[in-house]
Amino acid sequence: MLFLWLYMFYSCAGSCAGLTARGSPAPPRAAPPLPPLLPGEPSEESSLEEQRAAADAGSPISSFFNSSGTKRLPQAIIIGVKKGGTRALLEFLRVHPDVRAVGAEPHFFDRNYERGLAWYRDLMPKTLEGQITMEKTPSYFVTKEAPARIASMSKGTKLIVVVRDPVTRAISDYTQTLSKKPDIPTFESLTFKNRTTGLIDTSWSAIQIGIYAKHLENWLLYFPIGQILFVSGERLISDPAGELGRVQDFLGLKRIVTDKHFYFNKTKGFPCLKKAEGSSKPHCLGKTKGRTHPDIDQEVVQRLRDFYRPFNMKFYQMTGQDFGWD
């Protein structure tokens, strides 16, 4: 009997330690703080540490996926273009449960290539079987070395280009620079090498990026046209669900992101998510998006339209899509 009593006493010592009094349960432990529902919009120039944080931090759903899975090189990359709508596309795609993407722009194939693929892979979020790893860096589209470098990583990489009326895109590009450097010359003065002769300064990046046909020729040396999806920046605003449907088809994903995920924000002038990744709250892109453009001399705008027209026509022929910019 004494032996049985001692056995029961020592057995209870571990399992009964949670009782504060006879028959009374221990008070519940304080729950650990939840991670933020949605990570903040990363800056365009992010440090290595910030990029890794963007890959590994985030919503409860993201945290769950990151607790398991494997870091993989991206199977799809949004390669361009700057001020075309790439951030909006990435945020919309991240709602899809089978898409895992880096929040910051890695700039691997243009600025950090010497760091190696192991460094690049380490920036990626962990994915489970069947999920797609993605990243977006809009400057890739205009970087001469980028196509060969991506093809060297994987010739099967799917590429996405978000394009926008090149005149509107140039003005948006200038507006972004103006917000950071208020003392820069006027848009009109930067547009021309010589305004009297009307010669356009194609060395200015805001103009040069919009010559889409020229940049695309470089990509077609390494990738077939069918491996590149061209998303309309205008339709991404007017019909986000329609464009997202095309993107999901291109990536081989089920059409989960639909019109039920969007609402149009009249104040900002573009669509926002009703529920962002891992959140129950609406989410719009930050204050750096949807800036009010300065008034530009309409004669200059028309000269730019005339300049871009032949390049646009060639781009339509190359892609088999008429984007309606003229």
Give the residue from 76, 59, 78, 75 showing the smallest Cα distance to 67.
59
pTM: 0.77
Is 266 within any annotated ligand binding site?
A: no
Measure the CA–CA gap between 312 and 178, rounded to whole angstroms: 26
Is 290 within any annotated ligand binding site?
A: yes
Architecture of 70-319 per CATH?
3-Layer(aba) Sandwich (3.40)
Q: Per the residue annotation, which of 83, 126, 136, 158 is the catalytic one?
A: 83
Is 72 within any annotated ligand binding site?
A: no
User: pLDDT tens, position by position, for the chain (326 residues)?
Assistant: 444 444 444 444 444 433 333 343 334 333 333 333 233 333 444 445 444 544 444 444 544 545 689 999 999 999 999 999 999 999 999 999 999 999 899 999 999 999 999 999 999 999 999 999 999 999 999 999 999 999 999 999 999 999 999 999 999 999 999 999 999 999 999 999 988 888 999 999 999 999 999 999 999 999 999 999 999 999 999 999 999 999 999 999 999 999 888 877 766 566 888 765 555 555 576 554 555 778 899 999 999 999 999 999 999 999 999 999 98
Give the residue from 92, 119, 86 showing the smallest Cα distance to 105.
86
Measure the CA–CA gap between 157 and 136, rounded to whole angstroms: 13
Tell me if residue 83 is catalytic: yes
| Domain residue extents for the chain | 70-319
Is 85 within any annotated ligand binding site?
A: yes
Q: Cβ distance 205 to 139 under 8 Å? A: no
Question: What DSSP letter does each residue of 12-68 carry, written as one string?
Answer: HHHHTTTEEETTEEPPPPPPPPPPPSSPPPPPSS--HHHHHHHHH--SHHHHHHHTS
